[in-house]
Amino acid sequence: MLNTDPKHWCRAFFQTETKSDIVDNNMCEVFNALLVESRHKAIVSLHQDLRAFCGQRIVARREFGDRKFVDDFGPRTWEKLVANTRGSRRCKFLWPGSNCYEVQENGVDVYMVNVDERKCTCREWDLTGIPCRHAMVAINARKEKAEDYVSHWCRKEKFKAAYEYVVPVTEGMNQWEKTGMPPVQPPPARKMPGRPKGKRVLEEWEGHTNMSRKGRQMTCQKCFQKGHNSRKCKAQGPTTAPQPENANASEEQVPVEDSQHPTTVTENDGQRSSASATANPPAAAPHAIVETP
């Protein structure tokens, strides 16, 4: 970015004649998204898709101008006017000069507004053509309307003039004049080595969605040491996994399953205790009754 002239990406160096403060490339992104399916076609078919899109776009924008423009201004212009009107509540003008006004914002910052030349030292009015919040205070002090100071580039007349061009209609390709020359064909497809990529290659400044392995601590599955993996392990032969800390405990109680006499076995002395055996002795088996004839 530093190798590019700042007048192309910094508002401080923008020219004020264009009345635009756009610094992004959304228009290029929209055009690239339009060509996702058409870019793989032949040059003639690609131009046909572009011509159809431009014609439909012009008609849609004309209908938008007739439907959405209110009082000679579009919705974007009205949104900025309303936002700047609300922002002017934090401003007040100190005193008017010969043709300038000194406007103070938040009791700290001071800006100079020239209503006749339609300029403000914040440069927002100069770039957009719409009165800024400081200009709103000066215009209200003169008992005038802010709509009268909006640039002609933001009005309905200029909007219609931008879309007055009509894309000429053409016949279908089957009705074109035969020239006798060989038809235009795309270049032969050449299979590139490797697996084809489904997505475009991202630039360095674009966000990447892949998770980075930086900061992870690997554990070797061969020597079970941290800091390297099994491919870079220098240990000779397989090793056993480290035992848990309580593996060599002096006493460990192992439960022995018994439905009637639950017991506990201690490995040290091998003694077996049965607490429930004495407390709850087993019931005697019932006597069998033998019938005599």
DSSP code, position 219: B
Which pair of structure tokens corresponds to residue 111? 């800006």
> Could you report the average pLDDT of every consecutive run of 10 residues in the chain (293 residues)?
78 80 79 83 86 90 89 89 90 78 87 89 90 91 89 90 87 84 81 82 69 75 85 75 55 48 45 43 47 45
Domain ranges of the chain: 6-14+23-70+162-171, 75-154
CA-based nearest residue to 252, from 264, 267, 262, 270: 267
CA-based nearest residue to 129, from 108, 146, 104, 112: 146
- Predicted pLDDT of residue 130: 92
- Predicted pLDDT of residue 208: 59
- Predicted pLDDT of residue 207: 65
In the chain, % of residues over pLDDT 90: 9
Look up tokens 């800390």; give the residue.
245
268's CB contacts (< 8 A; 6+ apart) are: 250, 251
Which pair of structure tokens corresponds to residue 190? 């050449």
Half-sphere exposure of residue 201: CA atoms within 13 angstroms, side-chain side? 3
Are 205 and 197 in contact, with CB atoms under 8 Å apart?
A: no
